[in-house]
Amino acid sequence: MKIVITGGTGFVGLTLARQLLKRGTLPGPKGTPEPIDEMVLFDMVAPVEPPKGLDDRVKIASGQIAERDQVFHIIDRDDIGVFHLASVVSGEGEQDFDLAMRVNLDGALNVLEACRARNSRPRVVFTSSIAVFGGDGMPAKVGDSVKQTPQTTYGMTKAIGELLVNDYSRKGFVDGRSARLPTVVIRPGKPNKAASSFASGVFREPLNGQPCILPVAESTVMPVLGYRATVENLIRLYEIDGARLGTDRAVSLPSLDVTVAEMIASLKRASGNRHLGEIRVERDPFIEKIVAGWPVGSDGARAKSLGLITDDGLDAVVKGYIEDFLDG
C-alpha cells in the first residue's frame, strides 16, 4: 500500500515516516495489514539535504496542499492511507488569515476529496489541535465532550477539519480520525511561527548552550506531549478500528499539563551535567494573548481507553530528545 504524509518533511512528519518505514505494514482501506511499498512526503518545499533514515520506498514531493490537482496527483492509489499534517500554525494564522484558510481549510477539503475519489474509503489521520478550545465558557480541563469555541483562526480551521473528517467518515467517503494534539515537545531545529514554539525552545536552546527568551511567565500552564508519544499515537489512531470511535472521530491525545517552571525544573534534572544556556522571561503580548486563550488542562481518558499513550513524565521526554538529537 501507499502512505501519504502531508507536511511530511516537517519534524513530526519525518519522525512519523521513519517509524512507519520501520513497522513496514499498516492496515489498508480494507482493514487488513498491507506492506507499505510506497510513501510520499508532500510538503511546501523540498529539504535542501535528503532527510536521514528514509529509504527508496520514499519520495519527497513539493507542492501546495491548497492546490486540488496537486493533492489528487499524490493520492493516486486505492490502497492508500493518509496522514494529513500540513498546516499553517497558530501565530502564522493570526498574521495571515487568508493563508490559514487556504492551507488549513482548502487543504483539508482537498485531502478528503482526493481520498473520497478513490472510492476505497481510505484511512485518514488528520492532526487537529487543542487550539480548537477557547473563549468565555472554556472549562479548566478540555476534552472530547467540550464545546469548541476557538479564539484563533488556526483553531477555527482545525475545528472545521474535525467536523469535515466526522462527516466524510459518516458518509463513508473516508475512514477518518482526528488527533487533537496538545503542544508537541521538544521540536529540534529552529523556532517556528507557532505561538507555542517556546515550549520546545525552553528545552532546546539551553541544551544547545544558547539563551532562551521566554515570551510568557513561568507560571503559564500548557498541555504538552513528547514527539515520540505523539507519533506513536498517530499510528495507533490510524490502526484502530474506526467503529470504536463512534460518532465522533476526533480524539484529544493524552497530555502532561505542566507549568513553564516545571519544564525548566525537568530540563535541569534530566540534562545531567550539561552546560545549559540561560533562560529569561521577556513577555510578548502577541504570544501571551494567544496562549492565554488556550486550555491549561486536557482530559485524555477517552484516548487512553482507545489504547493511546502519554509520556512517562517530562524528564523522559527530555532524555529522549538528548538521545535522539544530541548524543546521536
Tell me whether residue 154 is one of the annotated catalytic residues.
yes
Write down the least CB distance from residue 101 to a second copy, Å: 8
> Which of these ranges, 39-47, 49-57, 123-131, 151-159, lies near a second copy under the rule CB under 8 A?
151-159
User: Under the criterion CB under 8 A, does residue 150 sit at the interface with a second copy?
Assistant: yes
User: Under the criterion CB under 8 A, does residue 38 sit at the interface with a second copy?
Assistant: no
> Which of these ranges, 49-57, 120-128, 164-172, 304-312, lies near a second copy under the rule CB under 8 A?
164-172
Site for a second copy in 78-97 (CB under 8 A): 97
- Which member of 154, 227, 238, 321 is catalytic? 154
The 126-145 contact track toward a second copy, x by CB under 8 A, reads: --------xxxx------xx
Q: Copy the grid coordinates of residue 30.
A: 480494507
CA distance 16 to 12: 6
Burial code (b: 16+ CB inside 10 Å, e: under 16) for 182-219 equals bbbbbbbeeebebbbbbbbbbbbbbbbeeebebbbeee
* Residue the block writes with cell 521513519: 18
User: Cβ distance 231 to 285 under 8 Å?
Assistant: no
Using CA atoms in the order 298, 300, 301, 305, what is the torsion angle rounded to 10 degrees? 170
User: Cβ distance 175 to 123 under 8 Å?
Assistant: yes
Residue selected from 45, 49, 219, 246 as contacting a second copy according to rule CB under 8 A: 246
> Which of these ranges, 41-49, 149-157, 190-198, 319-327, lies near a second copy under the rule CB under 8 A?
149-157
CA distance 102 to 195: 20
CA distance 308 to 291: 26
Cβ-based nearer residue to a second copy, 97 or 286: 97
Q: How many of the chain's residues bind a second copy (CB under 8 A)?
A: 27
User: Under the criterion CB under 8 A, does residue 295 sit at the interface with a second copy?
Assistant: no
Q: Which residues have a catalytic role annotated?
A: 154
Contact residues for a second copy, defined by CB under 8 A: 97, 134-137, 144-151, 153, 156, 159-160, 163-164, 166-167, 170-171, 173, 246-248
